[in-house]
Amino acid sequence: MLARCLGGIVGISARRPRLVLWCMVLLGCASVGITISDLRLKASRSDLLAPDATWKDYSNAFGGDSDLVVVARTQTADPQLLQKVLDQLGERLKREPDTFSNVLYKLDQASLRSKALQFLTVDELQTAIRRVDGFSPVLKNRQWDLLRIEKLADQLNRNAQSGSSAESAVQYSDRLADSLNSFMTAGTGGEAVQMNTQGFKSPWPEIVEAGIEHTAQDTDLAYLMNDGRNVGMLHVMPSAQLIKAERISIAIDRLREHLREIEGEYQKVAPELSLSVTGIPVLEHDELRRSGRDMINAALVALVAVGLLLAFGLRGLRHPMLVLIMLVLSMALTFGVATLAVGHLNVLSICFVAILIGLGVDFGIHFVTRYLFLRQELYEIQESLVLAGNSVGTGIMTSAATTAVAFGSAALTGFTGLQELGIITAAGIMICAWMTVSFLPALIAVSDESVEVDELPVPRNGKMWRVAVVGFPTIAILLAAAGIGALGWQAASYKDGAVNWHVKYNSNLMQLQDENLRSVQAEQTLANADNSLLYAVSVADSPEKAMVLRTQFAALPSVGRVTDLSSRLPAPPQGNQKQLIQTLASRLNDLPKSAPALPASNPETVGLSLDRLYKTLRQSTSLEAHRAADHLDQFLNRLAALPASQQTAVIDAYQNLMVSALLKDFYQVAQATSLDPVTLQDLPADWRSRYLRVDGDRQLHLIKVFPRASVWDDEALTSFVRDVRTVDPTVSGVPVKNYESAVRLWECYQGISLYALAAIALFMLFDFLRPGQKLLTVVPPLLVVGFVGYNAMNREGSFNLNMLVAIYLAMVAFVAAVFDIRNLRDTLLALVPPVGGGIMMLGIMALLGVDFNPLNLIALPLVFGLGVDGGIHLVHDYRRQLAESSEEYSPSGDTVNGVLLTSLTSIVGFGSLMVSAHRGLQSLGVVLAIGIACCLAVSLILIPPVLVLVARHQPASLEPVIIPKPKAESTTDSSGGNAAASQPSGKASRKEQGGKKAA
């Protein structure tokens, strides 16, 4: 029935080709228009999974993972340059509120200055008091002249020679020497002295080493930089409108325009400056854009390569071009269906393009090959097309349906990304099959309208190979079995009662990216600066709960650090801490309003004091002392080269700056002695908004949990996620999403592969059964399994889907074997190529060291879908020959040519992905090329000789022999003949028909 239906569809296209062509072209144009106007690209991997409650709160309140991070980098430490660049970029972004929001690159700490000492521990406060007491003669007795260079140098010289304070004196001397050396840049002789007053380095050790930031420009500002002061960071989010409209790419592109302009401005004065942007949205955006570009390049390479291969196999150019035109229109229709059914593409579903290029052309090859074979038998165009639809149409639709069901089973996984991929790919495969029996015949009818039979190409038929298979089937079977067994041995090993697979699964997403992308390189820079983009997030509804969660997270072995607002709030000062702060306040309560002027210096006295310090440092064995001595030597040499008047000017200017710097340090500490408790409002507003959101009466406190190790790697990611879930089972964030994606993806693809194999087997068995057996074989087992699943759900609240599928397949196989075991046998034979080819693929992957990853996992169902294609067509060819009363089976030339060409075109189509810069697509091309080649080898080396041997022992007919029922009484007619002989004879078997023909 299906064959006649398909033949009828082909006949309509053959009789009204131009009408069909116009209809299909208009439909394709409409699909292209819908795609261009409505199809969107979703780069976020968080869209691949259904969002959890914590992720929704995080996304709604704090913008989710939409933070963009600008990385400004110099070769050496240059904080002034980085501050200038960050200020310039920050002001630019703030002027574009429609595109950017929440710009953060520096923290205004003015509100914290008065309470800064509360952030110090008791030990740090005691150290600060000791350092202040070291200046007690200056503070109490106003002996500011003790700060003169010669007196400071003499004091350091005495301390450096004593054993107890020598180390601290050397460190102090190093600061003084570096300060002096960087202060004066002078020529020789009478050239003008240049004093570096803007970039003055204070020689005084810090009174307070923590809690108060010191910058060159503004002590109330702290810029986001690494400890080495060669990497600056700016955080910015796309505007709320762009996030809501899922058009973050606009903000990314605009930000990169700003970076290029600023880099150009600093190209001459700071050529070492590098500006780049990274962040999870940027990495995902670049990955999708890179993979999309690679997919287009691979598609172009595949179309050209497939066209050349078809031209070689079909010995012509016209018919291969028709197949490619059919494929292009099919893809256009698939894009339209994807737009209407799903509305967007993601990093997984975009792979359907490569799948259709590899699969869609196969159906056209089988159809064209059969058509050309029939034309060589002198059939007319329309008749050849209809007969081709009758003969190979069933195999085409069966192959398409089984593959579509295999991909469609992804809709049962609950994994959003795979569901979308499965729906789009299944629709695309069925569209390609439908276009093969509707659009392609119309193209052929118009193209071959005035072409004579002798002008048509004769496809290659592999005659020598077919003769060898028929002549030596046992040898071919042994060779194929040996190859599968040898590679299977490489794929897995059996040890301690378990099978160990040698091909692993690597979920590291960074290893899939193009390592030359600047966003990938910037991410590595951030990781080296201890500013990872990956962190888990937990949302608390009170500061008390946030503090408890923070403490528990920080105690985990896999957690590096935890940041939140509650951790930034010190407890109100009490006990010793309060007394120490009050002590510091009393020590610094009577500071002069301005730095006192020191008397004019004597250059000779200063030089002698510094020279004595220089000799002491030079005699030390400390590397730090030698460095200080070198700096002092350089300063003294420059000073000695100046006239006496300029020497005095340099020394006086330095001493005035030195006294001013010390007084400034005293004032900073004195202004930080407030005992009022630190509140959330005291924290910088830009920083506070990233950790606290108030929604009516509801407060949301964000806690960021940073991993200790790189969680791009599987082991570290698994350990980190499992640890943080022991504290908060609802914890979310990018690492959690990546972990869920990796685990779910691996589990889902394994399930899809099994379900695909089951669906393919069921479809083929259903196709092989006779009409009266189909429902009896399929429906009763389905009712039994449904009853079992219903009872399991009522008793336990769940059921094992894999077990139910296994029970159903076993029951279907049993019923089919009762009716006719040959149908079950043929189904199993058609499954040999994907199973055997899959085992060989795993063995070769193990030998080459190729692992599975989140992108090339799609090869598992693809290999089953593509591998079964050759088995289906060969089994259909076998059954067709036996139905035509053939005594022996010999693979027909058109079938062999079709299987060979479809597999080679698939290898070339998927192999074209190896030209991609995206390493995930590269690996996908490698795995699929290997898998399809292995399935092709099994299809052409193992299956035909097996079918040859099966045909030699095949029962008389695929149809039952009808035996006439004898009459109750045997009578003889007037001619003396037996009455039974006059009854119409039933259908003769294939062997009986052959005997009559021989007679």
Q: The domain that contains 72 carries what CATH number?
A: 3.30.70.1430
Measured on CA atoms in the order 851, 857, 858, 861, is the torsion positive or negative? positive
64 burial via Cβ count (<10 Å: 0-12, 13-18, 19+): buried
- What residues make up the domain containing 656? 121-210+599-672
Listed in sequence order, the DSSP H helices in 451-601 are 463-471, 473-491, 518-528, 543-554, 575-587
**pLDDT for residue 185:** 67
pLDDT band at 966 (very low <50, low <70, confident <90, very high): low
Residues 6+ apart with CB under 8 A from 888: 470, 948, 951, 952
d(CA 653, CA 656): 5
Chain centroid, CA 840 distance in Å: 27
**Nearest CA among 247, 429, 246, 425 for reference residue 349:** 425
pLDDT digits (tens, 9 = 90+) for 177-205: 888 888 876 544 445 567 777 778 888 88
Contact 538, 62 (CB under 8 A): no
Contact 915, 298 (CB under 8 A): yes
DSSP three-state, residue 543: helix
Which helix (DSSP H) or strand (DSSP E) does residue 594 occupy? none
Rounded percentage of the chain residues whose pLDDT exceeds 70: 88
**CATH number of residue 545's parent domain:** 3.30.70
DSSP conformation class of 455:
G
d(CA 876, CA 402): 15
pLDDT band at 218 (very low <50, low <70, confident <90, very high): very low
pLDDT digits (tens, 9 = 90+) for 496-527: 777 788 888 887 777 777 777 777 777 777 77
Contact 862, 931 (CB under 8 A): yes
Tokens for 215, please give them.
């910058």
Is the domain of 68 the same as that of 57? no
**pLDDT for residue 44:** 65
d(CA 403, CA 395): 12
**pLDDT for residue 442:** 92
Half-sphere exposure of 684 (CA within 13 A, CB side): 17
Residues 6+ apart with CB under 8 A from 679: 569
Residue 252 in any domain: the answer is yes
Is the domain of 622 the same as that of 720? no
Residue 885 in any domain: the answer is no
Phi-psi region of 733 (alpha: psi -120 to 50; beta: other; left: phi over 0): left
**Domains contained in the chain, number:** 4
Tokens for 69, please give them.
């991070």
Nearest 10 degrees: Cα torsion 712, 718, 723, 728: 80
pLDDT above 60 (res 106): yes
Which helix (DSSP H) or strand (DSSP E) does residue 822 occupy? helix 801-848
> Comparing 267-271, 272-276, 533-537, 695-699, which segment has the lowest mean pLDDT?
695-699
pLDDT band at 171 (very low <50, low <70, confident <90, very high): confident
Average pLDDT of the chain is: 80
pLDDT above 70 (res 321): yes
Max Cα distance, the chain (Å): 158
d(CA 362, CA 939): 15
Rounded to an integer, the average pLDDT of 729-738 is: 83
pLDDT band at 745 (very low <50, low <70, confident <90, very high): confident
**pLDDT for residue 191:** 53
Tokens for 223, please give them.
């810029």
Measured on CA atoms in the order 127, 130, 131, 132, is the torsion positive or negative? positive
For 672, list phi and psi in degrees, rounded to 5.
-105, 20
Is the domain of 618 the same as that of 634? yes
Rounded to an integer, the average pLDDT of 126-148 is: 82
Which helix (DSSP H) or strand (DSSP E) does residue 217 occupy? none
Contact 665, 595 (CB under 8 A): no
pLDDT digits (tens, 9 = 90+) for 602-612: 888 888 988 89
DSSP three-state, residue 113: helix
Q: Which of 632, 652, 672 is the last residue of a domain?
A: 672
Query: 969-991 burial string, b = 16+ CB within 10 Å, else e?
Result: eeeeeeeeeeeeeeeeeeebbbe
Rounded to an integer, the average pLDDT of 527-556 is: 82
Tokens for 880, please give them.
């067709």
Residues β-bridged to residue 700: 693
Is the domain of 310 the same as that of 415? yes
Contact 940, 877 (CB under 8 A): no
d(CA 931, CA 910): 10
Chain centroid, CA 322 distance in Å: 36
For 278, list phi and psi in degrees, rounded to 5.
-140, -165
d(CA 902, CA 436): 14
Tokens for 817, please give them.
């074997």
**Nearest CA among 939, 912, 911 for reference residue 927:** 911
pLDDT above 50 (res 994): no
Rounded to an integer, the average pLDDT of 253-273 is: 89
Residue 243 in any domain: the answer is yes
Most confident of 277-286, 370-379, 437-446: 437-446
Is the domain of 621 the same as that of 718? no
Tokens for 292, please give them.
């999309």
Listed in sequence order, the DSSP H helices in 190-317 are 240-244, 248-265, 280-314
d(CA 781, CA 954): 29
Instruction: Compute the C-alpha angle 954/460/375, nearest 5°.
Output: 85
Residues β-bridged to residue 225: 232
Is the domain of 180 the same as that of 249? no
Look at strands 40-41 and 344-345 and give their pairing.
parallel
Residue 377 in any domain: the answer is yes
Is the domain of 305 the same as that of 371? yes
> Comparing 45-49, 216-220, 574-578, which segment has the lowest mean pLDDT?
216-220
Residue 770 in any domain: the answer is no
Instruction: Compute the C-alpha angle 9/14/16, nearest 5°.
Output: 95
pTM of the model: 0.69
pLDDT above 50 (res 965): yes
pLDDT above 80 (res 991): no
Rounded to an integer, the average pLDDT of 256-273 is: 89
Residue 155 in any domain: the answer is yes
pLDDT above 70 (res 291): yes
Q: Which of 459, 485, 518 is the last residue of a domain?
A: 459
pLDDT band at 882 (very low <50, low <70, confident <90, very high): confident
Kindly report the number of other CB atoms within 10 A of residue 477's CB atom: 19
Rounded to an integer, the average pLDDT of 749-774 is: 77
Give, rounded to a whole angstrom, the gap between the first and last alpha carbons of the chain: 34
Chain centroid, CA 190 distance in Å: 66
Residue 944 in any domain: the answer is no
Rounded to an integer, the average pLDDT of 884-912 is: 82
Q: Which of 625, 648, 672 is the last residue of a domain?
A: 672
Is the domain of 259 the same as that of 308? no
Is the domain of 226 the same as that of 133? no
Is the domain of 56 the same as that of 145? no
d(CA 186, CA 199): 15
Tokens for 317, please give them.
């150019």
pLDDT above 70 (res 462): no
Higher pLDDT among residues 709 and 415, named by residue: 709
Contact 570, 120 (CB under 8 A): no
pLDDT band at 56 (very low <50, low <70, confident <90, very high): low
**CATH number of residue 384's parent domain:** 1.20.1640.10
Higher pLDDT among residues 321 and 955, named by residue: 321
Beta strands in 343-430 (DSSP E): 344-345
Higher pLDDT among residues 962 and 939, named by residue: 939
Is the domain of 312 the same as that of 386? yes
Rounded to an integer, the average pLDDT of 932-940 is: 91
Residue 667 in any domain: the answer is yes
HEC assignment per residue over 982-999:
HCCCCCCCHHHHHHHHHC
Tokens for 727, please give them.
């504290």
User: In the block, which residue shows the tokens 């043929």?
Assistant: 826
Which helix (DSSP H) or strand (DSSP E) does residue 195 occupy? strand 193-195
User: In the block, which residue shows the tokens 């949302």?
Assistant: 539
User: In the block, which residue shows the tokens 């062999």?
Assistant: 896
Chain centroid, CA 738 distance in Å: 9
**pLDDT for residue 730:** 84
Is the domain of 628 the same as that of 713? no
